[in-house]
Structure 1
Amino acid sequence: MRINDRHFEVKELAYTIRSAVADDAEQLSAVRLQIDGETENMDRDRGEAFIDPAGFKEVIGMDTERPRNLFLVAEAKGRIVGFSRCEGTDLKRFSHKAEFGVCVLQAYWGYGIGNNLLKESLAWADRNGIRKVTLNVLETNEKAIALYKKLGFEIEGVLQKDKLLSDGLYYNTIMMGRWHEA
């Protein structure tokens, strides 16, 4: 599915949030690889589960066609600096929900990009009959957890010792969900 472009200016950084298009595939492949190497908040180490440009084109095409999917990019200074996806399903028993994921280049943290990607995704979900949006977040990502709570998400569960990080310790994954009354 697609949304209309939205323009933002935060702390003198102008950026646009828009639906991903096939021409974004090469940049998205590089940005995802960079983000995976910048933080352990993501599920992957740099290079793991690599998606090449052809793979991104396929995902973008699928997300554009499916009414329960949404792929957004944040673009600043002529380049993609973050992206998010909502992925739903056509299975009747789960057709009311979608899973949200987001990532932003570290140099662009603090400009509200993740916040605005999430807000645009939630507005899209609300307009399109998606009653529940779910996400997973690393327990140490306190800023993200606070943002999610501020936007109506509640903790629904904890996966104990779910993720092994570079310090050799295991960390919990927090499962969160937001319910929207129709």
Structure 2
Amino acid sequence: MKIAPRDFAGKGLAYTLRSAQEEDASELVAVRLQIDGETENMDRERGEGFLDEAAFRELIRADSESERNLFLVAVANGRIVAFSRCQGSSLKRLAHRVEFGVGVLQEYWGYGIGKQLLQESIAWADEHGVKKMTLQVLETNEKAIELYQRLGFETEGVLKQDKLLSDGNYYSTIVMGRFAK
């Protein structure tokens, strides 16, 4: 599904949130690789689960046509600096929910872009009859957990020792959900 572009400003940064377009595919390849290499909060290490330009084009096309998917990008200073995705299911037993994921380039942390992407996704979900949004977050990502809680997400469970990080230790993943009001 697509949404109308919206402009935002915060902490001296102006940016636009809009639906991803097929022309964004090449840039998204690079942005995703960079984000994956900047933090261990993501599921992937840099280069893992690689999506090339053709795969991104197909993903964007499919998400644009689906009533249960939403692929957003944040554009600042003439480039994509963040993205988020809500992915739904066509299975009847799961059709009431979507899973949310987000990535923000490290140099753009602290501007509220991730929060705005989530708020736009929540508004979209509520407007389109999505009953539940889910997400997974690494236990050490305390700022994200606090944000999710402020926006109505609750902890539903913990996947113990779920991820092996570069320090050689295993960390848990927190599963969170938000029900439509």
TM-score (norm 2): 0.99
SS for the counterpart of 2:93 is helix
Task: For 1:106-145, list aligned pairs within 5 A.
Answer: 106-145=106-145
Instruction: Return the letter of the residue paired with 2:143.
Output: K
Shift in Å, 1:149:
0.1
Instruction: Return the letter of the residue paired with 2:147.
Output: L
Query: 2:9: which partner in 1?
Result: 9
Q: Output the CA distance in 1 between the equivalents of 2:179 and 2:128.
A: 14
Query: 1:30: which partner in 2?
Result: 30
Shift in Å, 1:72:
0.1
Instruction: Confirm whether residue 53 of structure 1 aligns to residue 57 of structure 2.
Output: no
Q: Output the CA distance in 1 between the equivalents of 2:87 and 2:98.
A: 5
Shift in Å, 1:104:
0.1
The C-alpha deviation readout for 1:75-96, integer Å capped at 9, x for no partner, is 0000000000000011111111
The list of structure 1 runs, each at least 4 consecutive aligned residues, that deviate by more than 2 angstroms after superposition, is none
Q: Output the CA distance in 1 between the equivalents of 2:92 and 2:52.
A: 32
Instruction: Return the letter of the residue paired with 1:52.
Output: D
Q: Output the CA distance in 2 between the equivalents of 1:11 and 1:152.
A: 24
Report the identity percentage: 67
Q: Output the CA distance in 1 between the equivalents of 2:120 and 2:17.
A: 8
Query: 1:44: which partner in 2?
Result: 44
Q: Output the CA distance in 1 between the equivalents of 2:118 and 2:29.
A: 21
Query: 2:71: which partner in 1?
Result: 71
| Equivalences, count | 181
TM-score (norm 1): 0.99
Query: 1:91: which partner in 2?
Result: 91
Q: Output the CA distance in 1 between the equivalents of 2:14 and 2:53.
A: 26
Q: Output the CA distance in 1 between the equivalents of 2:113 and 2:54.
A: 26
SS for the counterpart of 2:3 is coil
Task: For 1:145-164, list aligned pairs within 5 A.
Answer: 145-164=145-164
Gaps of 5+ in 2: none
Q: Output the CA distance in 1 between the equivalents of 2:150 and 2:9.
A: 21
Instruction: Return the letter of the residue paired with 1:55.
Output: A
Q: Output the CA distance in 2 between the equivalents of 1:167 and 1:90.
A: 39
Instruction: Return the letter of the residue paired with 1:136.
Output: Q
Shift in Å, 1:65:
0.4
Instruction: Return the letter of the residue paired with 2:108.
Output: Y
